[in-house]
A and B are shown apart, each in its own frame.
Chain A
Amino acid sequence: MSTAGTESLLRQAREVREEELRQFCSRISALLRKEEPGPEALDALRRLFLIVSAEVDGAVATDFFTVLSTAQRFTEDQWLNVQAFSMLRAWLQLSGPGGPGAPDTDDKSEQEGSTLSVLSAASSAGRLPPPERLREKAFEYCQRLIEQSNRRALRRADSDLQKACLVEAVLVLDVLCRQDPSFLYRTLSCLKALQARLCGDPTCVRALLPLAQFFLSHGEAAAVDSEAMCQHVFSRVPAEHFHSPMLAFELVQFCRDSLPLLGRNLSALRRSFPSLLKLLAWNSPPLTSEFVVLLPSLVDASTAVEMLHALLDLPCLTAALDLQLRLSPAASERPLWDASLRTTSCPDTSQDPQLQGLLQHLLRAEASGAPERLAPLHLLLQPMAGCARVLQCAEAVPTLLQAFFSAVTQFADGALTNQLARLLLERSDSLYQVPGYEARVHQVLSAQFLGLCQRRPCLVVELAKELLEFVGSGGGLRGGGSVLTSVVWAVGEYLAVSWDRRCTVDQINKFFEALEALLFEVTQSRPSATLPQCPPQLVTALMTTLTKLASRSQDLIPRVSLFLSKMRTLAQSPAAGSLRCREDERAIGTRATELLNLLKMPSVAQFVLTPSVEVAAPRYHRDTNTALPLALRTVSRLVEKEAGLLPG
C-alpha cells in the first residue's frame, strides 16, 4: 500500500526532457570551469563523481582518500584527513591502554568517535565500539598507504613523502599490534611483502629501520625469525650507506633503542661491530656520544681484544673508507669524499696482495676473531692523515677508549686483563700517524694501564717478560713517554712479594738493570731526533722505582745510592746540552736527595716504599703522586735533624 507522498512522486515521475538535460549540463560545466567553486559545490561535484582524486603517479584513485592522494582542489574534510593522520600515532599512543593520557572507558568512546568521523573510510568496520573502530580504520589507512607508496611518484616532493608515509605506516602498525595483538596476523603478511620490496631498493633503506624494529618487537609472538633482518641491517646497510649522515644517525638510534628487545640477537649486533664502527668513523662529531652509550653493549669477552684494535685504528678506517669511495666505480657527480685532497696523492693498493688483504680486513663487515697488524696499511694511508674527516675521527677516539675500558673492566677476567695490557704496550708505538693523535692516545693508554695494574697487581709479575722488552726498547720514549712512565711506576709499585708470591729476586735484579740502563741513557745522552728529550716525570719515576726495587733487594742499595748522588750533582749543575728548565732540574735534584736520605735507613725505606697491604689500605692521600713525596720529605727532615745533632 503506497502512501500519498509516494503516489505524488510517482505521478510526477516522467522522462527527463531534452532542454532540462541541456540546462543541467551547462550549469555543471559552468561550475567546473569556475576558479573557486566553494565547498558545497565541490562536495556536490564529488558526489556526482565529476571530480576525482588521483594517486601520486597520476592514476585515478579508486579507493578512499589519504595523504598520498592528490586533487585539483581540496575540500575541508580532505584537509582534516591530512591533519588527523598526522596526529594519529601520538593519539593512539596517548589514549591506548597504558598510555599516559588514557582516560576512563566512558570518556574514550566520545573522543575517539570524533577522530573516527574524520578518518572515516569504507564502512567495513561494522558496529565495533569506538576504540576498536579507530584501530580498524587506522589499520586500513596504513595498508592503503603501503600500497600507495609502491607507485612511482611524478614529483620528487611526493616521492620523499611516500617514504615518510611508509615509515609512519609501519610505526602506526607497531602501535596497533602492541595495543591489540589480534592485528598481528594480518599485519605480518602485509609487512613481509614490504620487506622483500625494500631490501632490494637502496633508495628506501631508511624505511627498513622501523620495519626491523617491528619484527624485533613482535617476532616472538608471531614466531618470525628476525635474525636475518637484523643481520642485514647491522652488517650490510652500514657498509653501503655509511656516508649518509641521516641514515647513520637513525641506524645508531635504532641500535640503542633495540637493546632491550634484542635478547639473543645481541650476539648479531656484537658480531657486526666493525660495520657499525664505519658509521662512527665517517660521521664522528654527531655519533660519538651515541657510541659512548652503545659501547658497553657491543663489547663482550670474545670481541674485546678485536674491538680495542678497531678503536685504535679508527682514523685509519676513516682514511680507508675515503679511499674506497674514490676508487668505487659508481662515483656520483657530487663527490662524497673530501674533494680537496688531490687524487694523485691517493695510494694504489691494486698491485700488492698483502695490502689488499689488510685493506679488506679493515673494511670487514663482521668480527673475524683474529686481529691483524695493520702497520703496513698505516704507512700506505699516510698521505690521507691530514684530511679534516680523519682529524675529526682522531679527536673522538680518546673518549671512546675511556668508555671501552670502563665497560671492559666490568667483566674482564685475569686472562683478558693480561691480554689487554699486552695489547696496550704493543699498540702504543704502532698507531696511525695523525697529527696530535699519538700523544692523546698515549695519555689515555697510560692511565688505563695503571688502572689495569691496580685491579690486578699480579699482572706485573705475569707480564714480566713483555714489560722488560718494552722498557728495553727505545720506542716508549715517543709521544711524550707517558706510557713508559706508567710502566715504570707500575713496576715499582707491584713488583714485590707482597703483591705476588711468584716474584723472585732474580726478576727484581733484571728489572733493576734494565731500568738503570734506561735512566743512564735518558740522562747522559744529548737529546736528538731519535731520542727525544725525556720528560722530568719519567726521570723521577725511574729514580723512585729503582729505589723501591733496591729496598726489596738490599744488595742493590750501594749502586742506587751512587747513581742518585750522580743525578743530584747533574741536577745542580746541568750539562750544556740540557733543554730542561730550572724548576724541572730542581725537582729532580730534590727527589734524588730525598731518596738518598731514605736509603740511609734501609728498614724504614722498605716500610715506606713497599708497605704491606694492611698499612697501605688506609692511605689518607688517595693520590699516589702526593703520598710518597710526603713520606719522603718527612723522613728527610728527620734524618737531617738527626744528622745535625750528631757530633762531627
Chain B
Amino acid sequence: MVHAFLIHTLRAPQAEEGLCRVLYSCVFGAENSPDDPRPHGAERDRLLCKEQILAVARQVESMCRLQQQASGRPPTDLQPQPSDEPMPLHEAPRGAFRLAAGDPFREPRTVVWLGVLSLGFALVLDAHENLLLAENTLRLLARLLLDHLRLLAPGTNLLLRADRIEGILTRFLPHGQLLFLNDQFVQSLEKEFSAAWPR
C-alpha cells in the first residue's frame, strides 16, 4: 500500500542556493496510532504530516543529486527539450531507499523515486511492497502527469491544478492501492480521464 505520493522540485546538481519545495503531496494512510496518549489536534497533525513529507522530499532530492553526480551527467540535463517528444522515462534517474522507524514516519517505510528534469516524483510505501510494481506505477503516474498537465512547459502553475492531479490519482492509484494495469487498461482509463478533464 502506498502511504503517500509527492511531487517536488529538484535543483541542478551544481546549484547551492534554493530550497527544496514540495509542489504536491497526497497522504493515503493514517499515521497516528489510536493508543497515542498525547492530545493531538487536527492542525498539529497536519503540520506533522507536512514536515514528514518535506523530509522525504529533501532526502529524495539529495539521493537524486548524488546519483546524477556519480553518473557524471552534465548539469544541462535539467533543462527541458523544446520539442514535444515523449520523455524517455526508462532512462530517467530513479532509485529506492529505506526510512528507518521514527525517521520521519513511525513505521519503517520504503521510498521509490523518479527524477524527471527539474521535478521529482516519489512514492512512500510500506516496508515490504512489490517494488517492481511500485516503480512501474510511478513511471506511469509521471508520464500521465507530464502529458496531461504539461508540467515541464514554461508558465505551468502546478499548484493550481491539484484537482486534475487528484483525478489521475483516483483512477490510477485509488486510495493508495497499487494496481496491476496492462497497457490496454491504462489506455481505457486514460480515455476516461481525458473525457472528464479536457485539456
* Chain A interface residues toward B at CB < 8 A: 56, 67-74, 82-83, 85-87, 90, 155-158, 160-161, 163-165, 167-168, 171, 206-207, 245-246, 249-250, 253, 257, 283, 285-286, 289-290, 334, 336-341, 387-389, 392
Q: Which residues of B contact A283 (CB under 8 A)?
A: 95
Contact A90 B63, beta carbon cutoff 8 Å = no
Contact A161 B95, beta carbon cutoff 8 Å = no
Q: Which of A164, A290, A338 contacts B130 (CB 8 A)?
A: A164
Q: Which of B66, B67, B74, B136 contacts A161 (CB 8 A)?
A: B136
Distance, CA A206 to CA B132, complexed state (A) = 8
Given A70-B182, A164-B130, A164-B133, does the pair A87, B177 have CB atoms closer than 8 Å?
Answer: yes
- Residues 131-146 of chain B, each 1 if its beta carbon lies under 8 Å from chain A, else 0: 1110110001000000
Contact B96 A340, beta carbon cutoff 8 Å = no
Distance, CA A171 to CA B63, complexed state (A) = 29
User: Interface size class for chain B?
Assistant: 35 or more
Contact B183 A70, beta carbon cutoff 8 Å = yes
Contact A167 B66, beta carbon cutoff 8 Å = no
The answer to the question of B181 belonging to the interface, with a C-beta cut-off of 8 Å to chain A, is yes
The answer to the question of B16 belonging to the interface, with a C-beta cut-off of 8 Å to chain A, is no
Contact B130 A168, beta carbon cutoff 8 Å = yes
The answer to the question of B197 belonging to the interface, with a C-beta cut-off of 8 Å to chain A, is no
Q: Which residues of B contact A167 (CB under 8 A)?
A: 130, 132-133
Contact A86 B180, beta carbon cutoff 8 Å = yes
Distance, CA A171 to CA B188, complexed state (A) = 28
Contact B182 A340, beta carbon cutoff 8 Å = no
16 more contacts with CB within 8 A, not counting A70-B183, A86-B178, are: A82-B180, A82-B181, A83-B177, A86-B177, A86-B180, A90-B1, A157-B136, A157-B140, A161-B180, A206-B131, A246-B135, A286-B97, A337-B72, A341-B72, A388-B70, A388-B72
Complex A-B: 18 CB contacts under 8 Å: A70-B184, A71-B184, A72-B184, A82-B179, A82-B180, A83-B179, A161-B181, A165-B180, A171-B130, A245-B94, A246-B94, A246-B95, A249-B95, A250-B131, A285-B63, A285-B66, A334-B91, A388-B69
Contact B185 A85, beta carbon cutoff 8 Å = no
Q: Which residues of B contact A165 (CB under 8 A)?
A: 180
Q: Which residues of A contact B95 (CB under 8 A)?
A: 245-246, 249, 283, 286
Q: Which residues of A contact B162 (CB under 8 A)?
A: none
Distance, CA A208 to CA B1, complexed state (A) = 22
Given A74-B188, A86-B179, A157-B182, does the pair A249, B96 have CB atoms closer than 8 Å?
Answer: yes
Distance, CA A68 to CA B180, complexed state (A) = 8
Contact A289 B98, beta carbon cutoff 8 Å = yes
**Least distance between B105 CB and chain A CB atoms (Å):** 15
Q: Which residues of A contact B100 (CB under 8 A)?
A: 289
Q: Which residues of B contact A253 (CB under 8 A)?
A: 98, 110
Given A74-B185, A289-B98, A392-B66, does the pair A339, B72 have CB atoms closer than 8 Å?
Answer: yes
Contact A338 B71, beta carbon cutoff 8 Å = yes
Contact B96 A73, beta carbon cutoff 8 Å = no
The answer to the question of B186 belonging to the interface, with a C-beta cut-off of 8 Å to chain A, is yes
Distance, CA A646 to CA B128, complexed state (A) = 80
Distance, CA A156 to CA B110, complexed state (A) = 26
Distance, CA A68 to CA B181, complexed state (A) = 8
**Least distance between A84 CB and chain B CB atoms (Å):** 10
Interface of A is mostly: helix
**Least distance between A594 CB and chain B CB atoms (Å):** 46
For residue B112, which residue of chain A has the nearest CB? A246
- Residues 153-189 of chain B, each 1 if its beta carbon lies under 8 Å from chain A, else 0: 0000000000000000000000001111111111010
Distance, CA A448 to CA B48, complexed state (A) = 39
Distance, CA A339 to CA B77, complexed state (A) = 14
Distance, CA A163 to CA B180, complexed state (A) = 11
For residue A145, which residue of chain B has the nearest CB? B180
Distance, CA A235 to CA B63, complexed state (A) = 26
For residue A74, which residue of chain B has the nearest CB? B188
For residue B68, which residue of chain A has the nearest CB? A388
Q: Which residues of B contact A168 (CB under 8 A)?
A: 130, 133, 180
Q: Which residues of B contact A155 (CB under 8 A)?
A: 183
Residues 93-131 of B contacting A (Cβ, < 8 Å): 94-98, 100, 110, 128, 130-131
For residue A159, which residue of chain B has the nearest CB? B183
Distance, CA A163 to CA B69, complexed state (A) = 30
Q: Which of A67, A289, A334, A338 contacts B180 (CB 8 A)?
A: A67
**Least distance between B127 CB and chain A CB atoms (Å):** 9
Contact A246 B179, beta carbon cutoff 8 Å = no
**Least distance between B198 CB and chain A CB atoms (Å):** 18
Distance, CA A86 to CA B94, complexed state (A) = 24
- Residues 52-63 of chain B, each 1 if its beta carbon lies under 8 Å from chain A, else 0: 000000000011
**Least distance between A343 CB and chain B CB atoms (Å):** 12
**Least distance between A168 CB and chain B CB atoms (Å):** 5
Distance, CA A333 to CA B67, complexed state (A) = 19
Distance, CA A68 to CA B74, complexed state (A) = 39
Distance, CA A73 to CA B185, complexed state (A) = 9
Q: Which residues of A contact B182 (CB under 8 A)?
A: 56, 67-70, 157-158, 161
Contact A85 B94, beta carbon cutoff 8 Å = no
**Least distance between A207 CB and chain B CB atoms (Å):** 8
Residue of A83, A85, A341, A388 contacting most chain B CB atoms (<10 Å): A388
Distance, CA A337 to CA B128, complexed state (A) = 30
Residue of B62, B73, B132, B185 contacting most chain A CB atoms (<10 Å): B132
**Least distance between A55 CB and chain B CB atoms (Å):** 10
Contact A338 B94, beta carbon cutoff 8 Å = no
For residue B174, which residue of chain A has the nearest CB? A83
Q: Which residues of B contact A163 (CB under 8 A)?
A: 132
For residue A162, which residue of chain B has the nearest CB? B182
Q: Which residues of A contact B96 (CB under 8 A)?
A: 245-246, 249-250, 286
Q: Which residues of B contact A285 (CB under 8 A)?
A: 62-63, 66-67, 97
Distance, CA A283 to CA B67, complexed state (A) = 8
